[in-house]
Structure 1
Amino acid sequence: LEQIEKVPLAPLAADLLSALTDDRRHQKLFDEFTRVVGRFLNDEQALATMREKIREELPSLFNLFRADAYLLKKIVASAGSLLDEVRADPDHPMRAEFDRFALGFIERLRTSKQYARRAEKLKRDFLGRPEVRALAGDAWASLRLFIEQDVNAPRSTIREHLANMFVEAGKHLAADAQIRADMNQGFVVALASFVESQKSGVSTFIADQVKRWDLAQLTRLIETNIGKDLQYIRFNGMIIGGLAGLALYTAERLFLVN
């Protein structure tokens, strides 16, 4: 929760909503909203509740000749007809109005200091509730217990999913040369940057390790492990050097005689 508290909520919400508006996916939510409202308007119990509210708010006018029921039916019929028109027409003016509302709200979330303050207050109030903190602690404990039990099980679900994921990733890499080239280039850039930033530290580490070596012990280890090979190399070098010298001497004498 401490890490969540550090994340600015308003820009994050703006980015999420902006992604939702790609390809007009927010219009699908609008369609679903109109369906929910339509079902509500066709619910007799909901209409009865609305009629009671009308009687309470305007008793003298709408109780006359049971006008409340008549007007409510007319309002419901008109609203239902309007919602049907909106769902059937992709270019309906209400859709354009919803577009303007959604894009304007996203922009205010991204730029408005007032919206940012409200979002941060909402986040603090939500995360500060004891039940939320208790739920987060229980969820983390349950997740950790599940992972520990699963990875130690003979047939681990996590291991199986990871294995399948890596196999699929390998297939995609094998089939797409462009992805391989992009990944190779990315690794080269990342490694070059890492080496550049760490080369002084690596040099210091190697120098410190060399300073700690016991030269006498190191010499004994070399003689013990590869001493015979060194003697063989020295012996062969002596023979080859002698033969080379003899060949040069012979060539020189022949040149002088001629």
Structure 2
Amino acid sequence: MRWTATGLLLAMGVLFFTTHGLVPAHPAWGYVNAFAEAAMVGGLADWFAVTALFRHPLGLPIPHTAIIPSNKDRIADTMAQFLQENFLTPAVVARRMSGMNVARAIGDFLVVSPDDQGADNRSRITGGAAELLAEVLESLDPDRLGNQVRAGLGRQLGKIDVSPLAGRMLENTMADQRHLPLINGFVRWAGLTLEDNEETVRSIIHERVNGVLRWAGLDKTISSNVLDGLYKLLAEVLVDPEHPIRGKIEEGLKKLAFDLQNDPETRARVEDMKSDLLENPAVAEWWMGVWERIRQSLIRRARDPNSELGNDMRVGLSDLGEALKQDPRLQTQINRFARRTAVGIATRYGSEIVTLVSETVKRWDATTITGRIESAVGRDLQFIRVNGTIVGGLVGMTLHFIVSFL
């Protein structure tokens, strides 16, 4: 456009000097010459005006030229003030945000359809989030982070009254008959333990009976009868759901469930046991080992693109996108939160944002700011030169017409 405007100006100059000697030959040449003369003047005037915005015409330090480079600091302050007054005021931000459905836009971004980029969008989000998680877990001190997590869990567990919770769990377990496998397992364990320690039992009985029985060899008979009786008892308890010992065990469990919920002394003992357990150094050492395994596992899964962690995150994002698209109440809550957040940012940090804009523009050198503004509006400015050339020519031809009839 610069070459077009300049070429048009040169063409008017050539036309002016070419037709200047032809004016007496015919009245029409007078109109042509007047058009070319005025067009040349108009084109030169607009060239001077456009050039003066960005630089000194022909390099001459004419006053009030190179306006933009000479006033870039004032332009920066004016731009910043305009931005703050017209865009970063709470009222403007709230009005603009009130017409935006941020939640729906996020939902459209996340949800998959056959012809959109929803899957790629979710993959980019999950990939970035997973890598960020891995970087955080690697950069932070594992011991310190583990202790912080343990302390946080300890504080939360300290607030929980474990005794009533355990009592209700035991009560519900018995109501659903889910305690029966535990009783059966305990009976089997008792039988196996007795079998593994038969010699110990026989030794105890041998030491407890008197010398006459040992001399007569009856201690072995007594120990065998005792062991056979215990095995028989355990077998009967195991196969008979109505065995009295089972009833005693269930009565004890019911009483324990009741005491855990209602007996202050039992609840206090449970709380003391919980506190002692949380403060036990062995538990802290055990937790640090567990935490290190969890940390390493999370890092490996975060860095593995085919891990279930990434797939679970993608599925979760897809479900979130569907909810954001379909649930008006959720959209209302998120849009309200986004609007309040944007207004809060404009209120608290609006001045810092415009200061950033102003200082950035001020740091640009004159050539940079001139080039950027000229590249943004330069084409339209060259149209001004073209229009000035044509309009000047038309005005000159009109004046020649008027003068011809005076």
TM-score normalized with structure 2 length: 0.40
Counterparts in 2 of 1:208 and 1:129: CA distance versus 1, 3 Å: closer
Residue 104 of structure 1: aligned partner: 255
2:241 corresponds to which of 76, 84, 90: 90
Residue 152 of structure 1: aligned partner: 303
2:189 corresponds to which of 2, 18, 36: 36
- Output the amino acid matched with 1:118: R
SS at match of 1:25: coil
1:151/1:159 contact within 8 Å kept: yes
Query: What RMSD, in angstroms, separates the aligned Cα atoms of the two structures?
Result: 4.1
1:14/1:107 contact within 8 Å kept: yes
1:27/1:95 contact within 8 Å kept: no
1:10/1:120 contact within 8 Å kept: yes
Counterparts in 2 of 1:55 and 1:104: CA distance versus 1, 3 Å: same
- Output the amino acid matched with 2:171: S
Output the CA distance in 2 between the equivalents of 1:165 and 1:69: 69
Output the CA distance in 2 between the equivalents of 1:64 and 1:162: 77
Residue 274 of structure 2: aligned partner: 123
For 1:176-215, list aligned pairs within 5 A: none
For 1:10-25, list aligned pairs within 5 A: 10-25=163-178
Structure 2: segments with no counterpart, 5+ residues: 1-153, 320-326, 351-406
Indicate whether 1:49 and 2:184 are aligned.
no
The structure whose Rg is larger is 2
Question: What is the CA deviation profile of residues 174-197 of structure 1, one whole-angstrom value per residue up to 9, with x for unaligned ones?
Answer: xxxxxxxxxx8xx96x999x79xx
Structure 1's consecutive aligned runs of 4 or more residues displaced over 4 angstroms after TM superposition are 161-167, 202-210
Output the CA distance in 2 between the equivalents of 1:139 and 1:83: 38
Residue 153 (structure 1) shift: 1.4
SS at match of 1:10: helix
Structure 1: segments with no counterpart, 5+ residues: 170-183, 214-258
SS at match of 1:24: coil
1:6 corresponds to which of 149, 155, 159: 159
Residue 56 of structure 2: aligned partner: none
Identical-residue share of aligned pairs (%): 23
Question: What is the CA deviation profile of residues 101-143 of structure 1, one whole-angstrom value per residue up to 9, with x for unaligned ones?
Answer: 1111111011111111111111122221212112223322331
Q: How many residues align?
A: 194
Counterparts in 2 of 1:156 and 1:205: CA distance versus 1, 3 Å: closer
1:38/1:83 contact within 8 Å kept: yes
